[in-house]
Amino acid sequence: MPDLLTHTLVNTVIAGGRLPRRSLAFFVFGGVLPDLVSRVPTLAFARVVRPLLSRWHVDLDWLVHGFAALHLPVGFVPVCAFIVACLPKHLLGGVPRVHAAGLLAAGGAVHLLADLMQEHLRPGYRYLFPLSLRPLELGWFDADLGFVSWPLLLPLAWWAWRRAPQESKSPP
Amino acid sequence: MPDHARAWWAAGSGLAIVVLIVWFGVAMDRASLSLADCIEEPDRCEGRELYIGYARVLSVRDRSVSLRSWLGPVQATPWPADSPLPSPGLSVSLLATHVSGATVTPHLVREHPYRLIKERTGLIMLVLWVVLLALWVRVRRSELPQRA
């Protein structure tokens, strides 16, 4: 995965000032969500819970693998639906619920597409699940080199954010 | 969207998430071979290739490298002659053959010299997103009409 800053910037730039700011916030948040819902629990389980439970020989490797399902198209869609269904109305900021779910999913799709373009020693993204467990990767750039795009993306993202239309005050 | 429809969406998608985590986790656990499997059942690993991703280099002695992966400590020996020895603290990924216990013979290695930048940026961005979400909740709550 490129780092979270790169994903944030890419999604802001792609919106290019076309989305109103609150919708843009959902779209950009969708762009970091695949990592937040998969990598964060994976790291927590692998580095904290697994070592703690290893003395009782509890096998949690499958669970460490399992959270990666939320970084796949088939797993990310229900995550968007779940989050938007659980959000109280006032936290949607006037964005219609279905629209918010669509923006999160579209932001996540940009994330997954960016991840598809990178290259690892062994490809790891199994985007075709449940049809296949075959890993897919285009191998266009090194997964660790997202930071070289920051000098270009930062000013573009600033421009896109400034250009984004601001909503009139919505009812809570 | 009516409240009962929201409740159904939340329950349905929540259930789908749990099912997918278990399904994918079990499928991956069966399909892939890990160092932990090789330590438990060495016969399963004979002549097979292991992938150890983003392990931290602990120490280097001769052409033997001690690593810490998320599955625990790993001894990579001998380090491939065509690859320079890594410095302690660096992250590396390996394709290797299992020897015994937690010892492997790497045949393809890759250094990740910029891994620390990625990890630190990730942590800063994580904190930043949590702060932004907390601010969003606070602002939206403050805009709710006050109850009498």
Q: Which pLDDT score, from 0 to 100, does residue A168 have? A: 61
In the block, residue with structure tokens 């730039």: A13
Find the length of chain A: 172
Question: Is the Cβ of A62 closer than 8 Å to some Cβ of chain B?
Answer: yes
pTM for this model (two decimals): 0.88
- For residue A76, give the nearest of A107, A99, A40, A114 by alpha carbon: A107
| Euclidean distance between CA atoms A122 and A136, whole angstroms | 10
Q: What is the DSSP string of A66-126?
A: HGGGGGSHHHHHHHHHHHHHHS-GGGGTT--HHHHHHHHHHHHHHHHHHHHTEE-SS----
Q: Which pLDDT score, from 0 to 100, does residue A87 have? A: 92
Q: Which pLDDT score, from 0 to 100, does residue A96 have? A: 92
In terms of Cβ atoms closer than 10 Å to its own Cβ (0-12, 13-18, 19+), residue A69 is: buried
Strand partners, B91: B56, B112
Q: Which pLDDT score, from 0 to 100, does residue A172 have? A: 44
- Encode pLDDT of A112-140 as tens digits: 999 999 888 888 889 999 999 999 999 89
Looking at residues A20-37, what average pLDDT do you find? 94
Restricting to A residues 151-170, those with a Cβ less than 8 Å away from any Cβ of B are none
How far apart are the CA of A111 and the nearest CA of chain B, in angstroms? Answer: 15
Rounded to an integer, what is the distance from CA B13 to the centroid of its chain? 25
In the block, residue with structure tokens 């998430």: B17
Find the length of chain B: 148
B13 closest CB neighbour out of A4, A40, A81? A81
Looking at residues A94-116, what average pLDDT do you find? 95
In the block, residue with structure tokens 């266009």: A140
In the block, residue with structure tokens 């983003």: B54
A73, B16 Cβ separation under 8 angstroms: no
Average pLDDT per run of 10 along chain B, which is 148 residues long? 86 96 93 83 82 92 90 90 91 91 91 88 90 90 70
- Encode pLDDT of B57-73 as tens digits: 999 998 899 999 887 88
Mean pLDDT in chain B? 88
Question: Is the Cβ of B63 closer than 8 Å to some Cβ of chain A?
Answer: no
Residues of A in contact with B129 (CB under 8 A): 4, 29, 32, 36
Q: And the tokens for B50?
A: 């292991």
Backbone angles phi, psi at B59, to 5 degrees: -155, 160
- Encode pLDDT of B7-31 as tens digits: 999 999 999 999 999 999 999 988 8
Q: What percent of chain B has pLDDT over 70?
A: 98
- For residue B118, give the nearest of A36, A6, A151 by alpha carbon: A6
- Encode pLDDT of A30-54 as tens digits: 999 999 999 889 888 887 887 788 7
3-state secondary structure of A144: coil
Question: Is the Cβ of A145 closer than 8 Å to some Cβ of chain B?
Answer: yes
| Euclidean distance between CA atoms A102 and A26, whole angstroms | 9
ipTM score for this prediction:
0.89
In which element (H, E) is residue B121 found?
helix B115-142
| Euclidean distance between CA atoms A142 and B118, whole angstroms | 12
Determine the residue type at A75.
Answer: G
How far apart are the CA of A42 and the nearest CA of chain B, in angstroms? Answer: 10
